[in-house]
Amino acid sequence: MQKSEAIPSGQGPSPTPLVSQPDGVGERGKTTRVIPIVALNSGEAEVARQMQICNACRYCEGFCAVFPAMTRRLEFGKSDVHYLANLCHNCGACYHACQYAPPHEFGVNVPKAMAQVRLETYSEYAFPAAFGALYRRNGVTLSIALAAGISLFLLLGLGLRGGLAPSGAPADFYAIFPHNLLAVMFGAVFLFAALALGIGVRRFWRDVAPGTASVPAVSEAARHALTLKYLDGGHGEGCNEADDAFTLARRRFHHLTFYGFMLCFGATVVATLYHYAFGLEAPYPVLSVPVVLGVLGGAGLIVGPTGLLWLNVRRDPARTDTRQRPMDRGFIALLLLTSASGLGLLACRTTAAMPTLLALHLGIVMALFATLPYGKFAHGIFRSAALLKSSIERRERNTLSLGSE
């Protein structure tokens, strides 16, 4: 279906090039812009329906970034729905405050509707496109990736050294797996993950028509993402989890998980710098920078994911998409296994168990990297893009002038 009239920026797909209509259609000799109308699926239509109701009520404008962004729109096209869905942090404040939530006949449940669309975002923008289905079968994908990763490193260890037994100095990881081999293998998987996520979010960014990013907008979006501002419920007291009580637990466990991950990544970067810039090869002393960063990061990746798993189990199923639980818990499990196997390897690096523990740890890390573009990790990338879009939009003139802005 096509329609020959303009639509507001940010609603629906980008316009197609100018084309001339044939005689008998419109005014003869006029050039017009033909804009395809993209039909909404059932999940997207449900978000649009609820946003229309919320746009008339506006009780929740101060809760998070979703509702101020909503007030800038009178209609909600496909790209608007996906933008708002990824801007939602699923804190639950609007659901518990809503007078139109079930069992009301309007059935407004914004967190659940948004969560369902987010899964569609990840699938639709996946690269390669055929891999989008992996989000819906993430539990199976995770199992296969984990088994394949561990098996690969066990086989490599057996093949390269004739068996997983120490053959060099104590704690000499490179006596089991040569450094260059590890660099090539993990570098290839990491680059693919970065490429897949980058292409996916670039497509998303293009479709939501973000506008021009200024330094203040980028700074604000980064601050909101790094502090998880919108997990405070809009009042600073936190999210709703199992009931009406507010708690900052989800925000704190997310911080422990994210910054624990970044500390581990920092440990890898410092170790790489030691190796290539200073010629210092692993193993490093216990009080060296890479080891200290790794231990602190590993501890964060034990406490944070454990807390998130506890909250995930307790969360009210009425306001979330239960189809995503295998994806959520699979990612949490991989983070826990990565940190636990890494800390275990550090503790036993001078023992005969080191080669086997090393192979297990590397296999788990390989599975984590391989599933990054097709699992829960993607939500952080798309949400950061939505936050940047929100910060850009807030600095633009609101032509509707109907809301708090």
Looking at residue 339, its amino acid is S
HSE, side-chain direction, 13 A CA sphere, residue 95: 28
In-domain check, residue 15 = no
Please check whether residues 274 and 223 belong to one and the same domain. Answer: yes
Residues 300, 179 share a domain: yes
169 and 109 inside one domain? no
Tokens representing residue 404 in the block: 């708090």
Q: Is 248 exposed, middle or buried (0-12, 13-18, 19+ CB in 10 A)?
A: middle
How many residues does the structure list for the chain? Answer: 405
Please check whether residue 176 lies inside any domain of the structure.
yes
What's residue 230's pLDDT? 92
CB 197 within 8 A of CB 385: no
177 with 321, same domain? yes
- Determine the distance from the C-alpha atom of residue 349 to the mean position of all C-alpha atoms in its chain, rounded to a whole number: 33
> Residue 33: inside a domain, yes or no?
no
Q: Is residue 164 part of a domain?
A: yes
Q: Looking at the structure, tell me whether residues 245 and 311 fall in a common domain.
A: yes
H/E segment holding residue 355:
helix 354-371
Same domain, 94 and 203: no
Report which DSSP code applies to 364. H
**What is the full per-residue pLDDT of the chain (405 aa) written as tens digits?**
333 333 343 444 333 333 334 444 444 555 444 445 678 999 999 999 999 999 999 999 889 999 999 999 989 999 999 999 999 999 888 998 999 999 999 999 999 999 999 989 998 998 988 777 776 666 656 666 776 777 777 777 666 666 666 555 667 788 888 888 888 888 998 999 999 999 999 999 999 987 889 999 999 999 999 999 999 888 888 887 777 788 899 999 999 999 999 999 999 999 989 988 988 888 889 999 999 999 999 999 999 999 999 998 888 888 888 888 888 888 898 899 899 999 999 999 888 888 888 888 888 888 888 888 888 899 999 999 999 999 999 998 877 765 455
> Cβ–Cβ contacts within 10 Å for residue 22, how many?
8
Pairing of strands 239-240, 246-247: antiparallel
110-124 and 78-87 helices, crossing angle to 10°: 110
Residues 373 and 264 in one domain: yes
In this structure, the answer to whether residues 58 and 174 fall within a common structural domain is no
316 touches 241 (CB < 8 A): yes
Residue 273 shares a structural domain with residue 374 = yes
Predicted local confidence at residue 34, as pLDDT: 47
Query: What confidence tens digit (pLDDT) does each residue in 191-221 have?
Result: 999 999 999 999 999 999 878 899 999 999 9
Last residue of a domain, one of 122, 145, 170: 122
* 244 and 100 part of one domain: no
Last residue of a domain, one of 91, 122, 153: 122
* Whether residues 115 and 135 fall in one domain: no
| Same structural domain, 154 and 117 | no
- The structural domain count of the chain equals 2
Host domain of residue 75:
42-122
pLDDT of residue 136: 67
**Domain limit, last residue, from 75, 104, 122:** 122
What distance in Å separates the CA atoms of residue 204 and residue 194, rounded to the nearest whole number? 15
Q: What is the pLDDT of residue 386?
A: 96
